[in-house]
Structure 1
Amino acid sequence: MARRRKGDDISGWVVIDKPAGPSSNAVVGAVRRALDARKAGHAGTLDPAATGLLAVALGEATKTVPALMNAPKTYRFAVRLGAATTTDDAEGEVTATSAARPGDAAIRAALPALTGEVMQAPPAFSAVKVDGRRAYAVARAGGEVAPAPRPLTVHALTLEERPDPDTAILSMTCGKGGYVRAVARDLGAMLGCHGHALWLRRTATGPWAEGDAVPLAGVGRADLRPLEEALAGRPRIDVDEAAAAALRHGRPVPSPGPDVHGGWAAGPGGSAVALVRREHGVLHAGRVIAPGGAAA
C-alpha cells in the first residue's frame, strides 16, 4: 500500500516571486513544506536562472492548473546582440559572433514577424520530447537535436529599452508553450547579428501581476489566495445548492443559456464547484472541486 503523503488538506494559490537559482519544482517543494500542504503543483515552468511570477497550486487548486497553464503570460527580457549560444541564453557556449549591431528601427521592424500566430522552434536545451527523449538530455549528451516548430500565440512583443548597442530589452505577452530564449535567438537571426537571452523575468501570469507576488523566503498561509482567482478568465455559471451537490456527484443538471466549454460552476457564496461544459441546456461536470476547496 502506498504511503499517504503527510501534510494538511489546504487549498489555494500562492504566487511566488521566484528568485534566480532554484528550479520551479524546487520552489513548489519549498512552498509545500512551508505551508505543510499535502499536494502541490505549478502552472508554467521558469528556468532556474529566470525570475518572476511562479503560481503554485495547493490541494484542490491543482485541479485548476490547466486553466492557468493556458492563460497569457508576460515576460520582460534582455537580448544580447552579437552572439549565438548553444542554449540560446547566457549559460551556454558561444557558437557564433557578429560585429553588426542593428538600430532601434530595425529591431522594431522585425518584431511583427514574431507576433501573432507563429511557429516557434523550442531551444535544443528544452524539456520538449524528440523521438521519445527530452531534448536537453540529448543535447547534454553531445547529440544534435532540433525540436520541431510548434504553434504559438504571441499577443504582444515590443522593444522597451536600448541601454547600450549590445542589449535590447523587450516585453512579450504570449500563450502556452512560448520560449523567450527562442525569441532572442530568432530575433538575432532575423537581424543578421545573432542573439541570445541575457535574463528574463515573468511579470504577469493569468490574473496576477508583480504586485500580487510574494518572496519565497518567509512564505506562509497568510499568502494563500482563493483557487477561484485562477478561473477568472473562464465563463462562470452560478448554480444553487441542489445543482452544486449533483455536479459534485457527477450528475448533469439543467442550465439554460448558450453552450459553454471551459467554464466553471460556482455555488452559493461564489465557491467553485467544478470545471464544467454546458451543452444544449445541460451542465456537465469535469474536474470536481471538493467542498472547502477555497483558500483557508
Structure 2
Amino acid sequence: MARKRKGRDISGWLVVDKPAGLTSNAVVNKVRWAFDAKKAGHAGTLDPEATGTLAVALGEATKTVPFVTDALKAYDFTVTFGAATNTDDAEGEVIATSDSRPTDDEIKEALNAFVGDIQQVPPQFSAVKIDGERAYKRARDGEEMELAARPLWVESLILLDRPDADHARLEMVCGKGGYVRSIARDLGAKLGCLGHVDYLRRVWSGPFEAAKGISFATVEELARTPELDQYLLPLETGLTDLPVVTATAEGAARLRHGNPGMVIAQGLDYGEECWAVYQGVPVAVGTFKAGELHPSRVFNLPSAPAPTPEG
C-alpha cells in the first residue's frame, strides 16, 4: 500500500527570483517546506550561479509544468572573451586562452549563426544522460565525452552592451532545452577568441517574470504563514498559452473521471490542445474533438460551491 504523503493539499505557482549560489532543487525543496505542500516541482533548471525566474509548481499545478517548460524563455547574460573553461562558465577551470578580441560588428555578425533552428552540443558539465548517468558526474571524474548535438529554436539573440573589450552582454530568447553556456562557448569559438559565461539571469519563462517574483529571503521569512499564500498564482497561470473552453456540468463530471466530456468552444480546430474550466475551476487539459475534450491531464481541485437556493 502506497504511503500517504504528508502536507497540505495546496495547488498553484510560486515565481521565485532565484539568487546565485543555490541549486534549483534546493529552492523547490525550500518552497515545498515553506508551504507545507504535499508535492512540488519546477519548470526548468537554472545553474547554481544563475539568477532569475524559477517557476515552482505546487500540488495539481505540477501537471501543467510541461506547458511552461515548452514555452519560450529569455536570458540576460555576459560573455567573457579570451578564455575557455571546462564548464563553459566562470566556475570552471580555464583550459585555453586567447589574446584576440572581437569588434562589436564582428559579434553582431556572428550572432546571426545562432538564430533560428540550430544544433547545440550541451556542456560537458550538464544534466544530459549518457548510458543512464549524468554527464556532469563523468566530467567530474575527468572523462571527456562526445555529446550529441541537440536541436534548439532561438527566437532572437542580440548584443545589449559592450562594457569593455573582454565582455559582451547579450539577450537570448529561446525554446526548450537551450544551454546559454553552450552559446557563449560556441560564439567564442566562432569569433576565434574563445569565451565563457560570466553572468546569467533568466528574465522570464513563459508567463512568469523574475521582476514579479518573490525573493528567496522572503520565502524563508514568511514560511509556514498565511502571508506566503498570497504570493501563490493560480494553477491556470501555467496554461496561458493554451485556449480555454467551458465544460458543461455533465462534461465536467466525466472529465474529472478521465473520460471525454462535452465542452463549449469557439474557433477551435479538431485535435487542438486546450484546457477546460467549470464554474471557475480548471478541470482538465486535453484535445478538442467534435465538441468534446479528450483529457490527457485531470485536475483534482475542489469544485465551486453549489449556489444557495433562493427563498
The 5 A counterparts of 1:114-193 are 114-193=114-193
Amino acid at match of 1:41: G
Work out which of the residue numbers 270, 285, 296 in structure 2 matches 1:259.
Answer: 270
Higher mean C-alpha displacement, 192-201 vs 132-141: 132-141
Q: CA deviation at 1:293?
A: 8.6
Aligned-pair distance for 1:221?
1.3
Alignment pair present for 1:33 and 2:33: yes
Shift in Å, 1:7: 1.0
Name which of 253, 259, 278 aligns with 1:245. Answer: 253
> Does the alignment pair 1:276 with 2:286?
yes
Give me the whole-angstrom Cα distance separating, in 1, the residues matched to 2:291 and 2:35.
41
Counterparts of 2:303 and 2:95, CA distance in 1: 50
Contact 1:23 1:46 in 2 (8 A): yes
Q: Aligned partners of 2:131 and 2:108: how far apart in 1?
A: 37
Correspondence for 2:17: 17
Q: Which 5+ residue runs of structure 2 have no aligned equivalent? A: 220-227, 305-311
**What's the secondary structure of 1:92's corresponding residue?**
coil
Structure label with greater radius of gyration: 2
Letter of the structure 2 residue corresponding to residue 213 of structure 1: G
Pair 1:95 & 2:105 matched: no
The sequence identity of aligned pairs, in percent, is 55
- Give the Cα separation in 2 of the matches to 1:180 and 1:128: 15
TM-score scaled to structure 2, two decimals?
0.91
Q: Which residue of 1 aligns with 2:109?
A: 109
Aligned length: 293
Question: 1: CA distance between counterparts of 2:273 and 2:103?
Answer: 44
Structure 1 Cα separation of the partners of residues 262 and 248 of structure 2: 11
- The runs of 5 or more residues in structure 1 that have no matched partner are none
Q: How much does 1:38 deviate?
A: 1.0
> Could you tell me the TM-score, scaled by structure 1's length?
0.95
Stretch of structure 1 that moved more, 177-186 or 241-250 = 241-250
Which residue of structure 1 lines up, in the alignment, with residue 222 of structure 2? Answer: none
Deviation at 1:151, TM superposition (A): 0.5
Q: Is 1:285 aligned to residue 286 of structure 2?
A: no
How far the C-alpha of 1:242 sits from its partner, in A, is 2.0
